[in-house]
């Protein structure tokens, strides 16, 4: 049996990424039973959005399977934003789509020369609502739009409702970040036991 290649210990991805940071190495395996590498199939990906289209990522054969790698030197040039990752298998004149998913490319923090606000949208809105309730919101926070109107035009009851909503959004993000980092989410799992008949 052929030994699989050793993958990057820092990424530990088991499938195509949903997010990654520019300037880092990204690597993932792909198994295609209908298009095995040993039968002459190749696997490629492209990362595309409305402004940018990056060159094809050609996965390396690993027995019947593939390993796709984006080197850090390549991703260092990627512009942060939301992209579509498109994957396709090719052999001769035949090409089949095998993947189409969304990817968020995060900014390359190692290359930044100016300040950076790393808060998510949910965290920014949550902070703005709390600042407004406490009476020390900036003009930018007061004019932030949630729904169809700015925060400063929300009633106290509406602000409370939005606060509860965005507090949950932010908690969900923190839990997902922990899962992505291989840590427990911190969420309690409730199990309801049924009565024995």
3-state secondary structure 36-72: CHHHCCEEEEEEECCCCECCCEECEEECCEEEEEECH
Q: Which helix (H) or strand (E) holds 73?
A: helix 72-75
143-172 average pLDDT score: 89
Locate 15 and state its tokens: 């499938």
Domain-wise residue ranges, the chain = 19-111, 121-178
The residues near 12 (Cβ < 8 Å, ≥ 6 apart) are: 182
Closest CA to 111 of 8, 190, 23: 23
pLDDT for 6: 45
Residue 22, CA distances (Å) to 2, 49, 51, 134 in order? 32, 15, 16, 37
- Report pLDDT digits (tens) over 91-132: 999 999 999 999 989 888 877 766 666 677 888 889 899 999
Sequence-separated (6 or more) residues with CB below 8 Å from residue 123? 170, 173
185 confidence band (pLDDT: 50, 70, 90): low
Residue 58 reports pLDDT greater than 80:
yes
More confident residue, 3 or 91: 91
CATH architecture of 19-111: Sandwich (2.60)
Which of 41, 148, 79 has the alpha carbon at shortest distance from 30? 41
Task: Report, as an integer, the average pLDDT of 68-79.
Answer: 92
Highest mean pLDDT among 61-70, 78-87, 188-197: 61-70
Question: For the ranges 6-10, 21-25, 67-71, 92-96, which has the lowest average pLDDT?
Answer: 6-10
Alpha carbons 163 and 158: distance in angstroms, whole number? 8
pLDDT of residue 12: 62
pLDDT of res. 163: 92
pLDDT band at 24 (very low <50, low <70, confident <90, very high): very high
Report the run of H or E that residue 101 belongs to, with start and end: strand 94-106
């Amino acid at each position: 049996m052929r030994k699989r290649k050793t993958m990057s210990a820092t990424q530990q991805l088991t499938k195509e990424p949903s997010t990654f940071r520019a300037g880092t190495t990204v690597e993932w395996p792909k198994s295609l039973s209908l298009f095995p590498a040993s039968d002459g199939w190749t696997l490629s990906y492209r990362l595309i959005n409305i402004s940018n289209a990056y060159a094809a990522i050609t996965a390396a054969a690993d027995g019947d399977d593939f390993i796709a790698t984006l080197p850090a030197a390549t991703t260092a040039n990627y512009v942060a934003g939301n992209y579509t990752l498109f994957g396709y298998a090719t052999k001769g004149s035949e090409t089949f789509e095998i993947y189409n998913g969304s990817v968020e490319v995060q900014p390359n923090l190692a290359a930044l020369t100016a300040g950076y606000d790393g808060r998510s949208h949910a965290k920014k809105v949550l902070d703005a609502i709390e600042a407004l309730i406490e009476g020390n919101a900036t003009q930018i926070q007061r004019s932030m739009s949630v729904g169809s109107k700015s925060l400063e035009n929300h009633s106290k009851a509406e602000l409370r409702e939005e606060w509860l909503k965005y507090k949950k959004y932010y908690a969900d993000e923190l839990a997902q970040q922990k899962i992505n980092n291989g840590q427990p989410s911190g969420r309690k799992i409730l199990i309801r036991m049924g009565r024995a008949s």
